[in-house]
Amino acid sequence: MIANGIIATWQNARFGSVYAANGGIFILLAKLWSLNVEDLKLDMYDVLGAIVALIGACIILYFPGK
């Protein structure tokens, strides 16, 4: 666990944005997994949260700032 955090600091400056955006994509995939594999029902807040996370991932990736 600690090594994962340390290795991330050795990457280039853009790595942090990609790593953060990966979290948003992970949330979407986790919801799709629970829907298809675990056969759980998603409510409006599950869908809305996944959409917000995906929009946040897109903002991080496509509007890097510097």
pLDDT in tens, 20-30: 788 888 888 88
pLDDT band of residue 65 (cuts 50, 70, 90) is: low
CA angle 13, 27, 1 (to 5 degrees): 55
Place of tokens 């919801």: 31
CA angle 53, 58, 51 (to 5 degrees): 30
More confident residue, 5 or 20: 20
Q: Is the pLDDT of residue 40 over 70?
A: yes
Q: Is the pLDDT of residue 52 over 70?
A: yes
pLDDT band of residue 45 (cuts 50, 70, 90) is: very high
